[in-house]
Structure 1
Amino acid sequence: MSDTGEEWQVARRRKGAARKSQSLQVPSVCSQEQLDIGKTVKRIRDTVSELRCEEFWHKWKKAGSAALSKPPVNRDNEGHADLQGSSKEGKLWQQLECVCYGLGSFSSCVSARFQLAMLLLLLEAEQIPLKDCSVYDPAFSTGERTVLSELGLTVLKENEEGKCLVTKPTLFYLMHCGKALYNNLLWKNWSVQRLPLMIIIGNSFNGMMDRTLEREFKRDYSYITQAVSVCEERQLPCPSRLIDVFSDTAVITFPTGSLNRLPQSTWAQPPEPQYQHCSDLEIIQRETQS
């Protein structure tokens, strides 16, 4: 998808839906020719160093490690995850992957740059190889995609709308993304076998519900509505000076025991979300072929 001013405005609305937008004067397009790749990479690494010295980062690190320190996942002969089958002690699941959606234009938005720096710190702390972290946002310019590649991350080429099917333990980093993206992710992995493979660092599901009319939330975001009762949320701290960057962020996990308490009918043929009643969907949908 090309980098247009319209896309930028939609992306800004999406990120602003979960928090107050910063009053930043930024260009709508940032091409590779305009963007100094080396300077931008250095700025991001400097921001990583700045965050590393923050007290709240150490609390994030501790909470993230607690969520990830689960028994490794075994698989049966058909490749399905067996979450109960291993009691071997170890740091966390082996070969953990990461997916990041919705960072925004980090070359021109201070909040997005801090969020990217935090992602890099989390990858380092959990020993996730940079190449095993996939990132995507329609707002990325050509230059920003180059910067992400220079940092070692894997830049996705297609808009998945959050519909990412997990096959192994995966950390999802979804800072201030639209509710539909979370809902799509849950729908795509709506089973007792797949949900426990996901760890989400993003907006609190309870917070989303509190900010939305209950009737509309249940109608439009049914998977988040159902997940609230069975997921575990650990609220992450946020200093007042970074309230626009990290507010209302939680580590969200899906314990197998909680999921098993739901009736089996919960998991039967879950319908794909349509959002026909949503006037402001908060995410950029993929272009459909005419």
Structure 2
Amino acid sequence: MSDPGEEWQVARRRKGAARKSKSLQVPSTCSQEQLDIGKSVKRIRDTVSELRCEEFWQDWKKAASSALSNPPENKDTEGTADQLGSTKDGRLCQQCVCYGLGSFSSCVSARFQLAMLLLLLDAGQVPLKDCSVYDPAFSSGEMAVLRELGLTVLTENEEGKCLATKSTLFYLMHCGKALYNNLLWKNWSVQHLPLMRIIGNSFNGLMDRTVDREFKRDYSYITQAVSVCEERQLPCPSRLIDVFSDTAVITFPTSNLKRLPQSTWAEPPEPQYQHCSDLEIIQRETQS
């Protein structure tokens, strides 16, 4: 079996990456394969405590809690009653999927993003075991740390093609455009898109930083989603610009989706990216 890390790599292009904050710089001296799990877990929990005291966290908590607690607007859609109903404990967001987190043992930005994920799960009352994480950058030590925290570590490269069969938070911090596009393609229907809540890069921001003609050609699902999704921009303090810049809560109200012609949803073609010169994920090799 091949190493999933060789199959897929996520390139995180952070806005303002050249202006690294001194407060977030640490020497990368630890060996990922020889992590002290206990110390690593404590460091992450200390970062959680640090973020919880930040003023901007209250704005994130309010926005995320609203997105995670409001039921999708497709109660009139056939076959989705089970997905739309709340859990026995009243939760409406039933699971979380996190892609592209990065090497949090050596990258401070990734550690802060992991800490924020833990805060959001707590705010949304999503059990840690119901959050699945994947990144080829994870070392075996980091995967052990994630499991110790209570998260579920995926081992297969899904290329972002994950179908939301129930209300799901997708946490995609500074991931490549192709991953967002793949995720949208997999859920491209009036039934599944409303089940998704994305916390990640603003779709409008992605479009603004790319040549319009190329963006529409290579990332057609993001292009179409921009006109019907709702984005709520999340605040970011200047000292954490490399960590949380250009982040939004993105939802897909059914009432917006129904404005698109019915042909929009008919047999959507799988993205191929044959003309994309700067693809930000490495695709799986197809078995011959």
TM-score normalised to structure 2 length: 0.88
**Residue of structure 2 in register with 1:274 after alignment:** 272
Whichever residue aligns with residue 131 of structure 1, its letter is K
How far off is 1:24 after superposition? Answer: 6.6
Whichever residue aligns with residue 96 of structure 1, its letter is Q
- Contact 2:67 / 2:251 at 8 angstroms: preserved in 1? yes
**Residue of structure 2 in register with 1:203 after alignment:** 201
Structure 2 segments unaligned to the other structure (5+ residues): none
Q: Show the 5 A alignment for 1:135-146.
A: 135-146=133-144
Aligned-partner SS, 1:283: coil
> Aligned partners of 2:198 and 2:96: how far apart in 1?
10
- Contact 2:56 / 2:237 at 8 angstroms: preserved in 1? yes
**Residue of structure 2 in register with 1:102 after alignment:** 100
How far off is 1:55 after superposition? Answer: 0.6
Change (3 A) 1:287 1:113: farther
- Contact 1:17 / 1:282 at 8 angstroms: preserved in 2? no
After superposition, the C-alpha distances for 1:104-148 in whole angstroms (9 at most, x for unaligned) are 000000000000000000001111000000000011000000000
Whichever residue aligns with residue 45 of structure 2, its letter is R
- Contact 2:7 / 2:157 at 8 angstroms: preserved in 1? no
**Residue of structure 2 in register with 1:263 after alignment:** 261
Aligned-partner SS, 2:198: strand
> Aligned partners of 1:221 and 1:27: how far apart in 2?
38
Alignment of 1:174 onto 2:172? yes
How far off is 1:18 after superposition? Answer: 5.3
**Residue of structure 1 in register with 2:62 after alignment:** 62
Q: What is the percent sequence identity of the aligned residues?
A: 77
How far off is 1:71 after superposition? Answer: 3.3
How far off is 1:68 after superposition? Answer: 2.2
Structure 1 segments unaligned to the other structure (5+ residues): none
**Residue of structure 2 in register with 1:158 after alignment:** 156
Whichever residue aligns with residue 54 of structure 1, its letter is E
Residue correspondences, number: 279
Aligned-partner SS, 1:99: strand
TM-score normalised to structure 1 length: 0.88
Change (3 A) 1:3 1:110: farther
Aligned-partner SS, 1:16: coil
**Residue of structure 1 in register with 2:237 after alignment:** 239
> Aligned partners of 1:235 and 1:196: how far apart in 2?
19
Whichever residue aligns with residue 13 of structure 2, its letter is G
Aligned-partner SS, 2:40: helix
- Contact 1:102 / 1:175 at 8 angstroms: preserved in 2? yes
Change (3 A) 1:73 1:26: same
- Contact 2:14 / 2:245 at 8 angstroms: preserved in 1? no
Whichever residue aligns with residue 174 of structure 2, its letter is H
Aligned-partner SS, 1:199: strand
Alignment of 1:129 onto 2:131? no
Match of 1:30 among 16, 20, 32: 32
After superposition, the C-alpha distances for 1:78-123 in whole angstroms (9 at most, x for unaligned) are 8x2159x889xx9652x61000000000000000000000000000
> Aligned partners of 1:280 and 1:107: how far apart in 2?
27
Which one has more relative contact order, counting CA pairs under 8 Å at least 6 apart? 2
- Contact 1:134 / 1:155 at 8 angstroms: preserved in 2? yes
- Contact 2:146 / 2:152 at 8 angstroms: preserved in 1? yes
Alignment of 1:117 onto 2:122? no
**Residue of structure 2 in register with 1:46 after alignment:** 46
Whichever residue aligns with residue 81 of structure 1, its letter is T
Change (3 A) 1:276 1:17: farther
Alignment of 1:20 onto 2:17? yes
Alignment of 1:149 onto 2:147? yes
Change (3 A) 1:2 1:214: same
What's the Cα RMSD here?
2.8
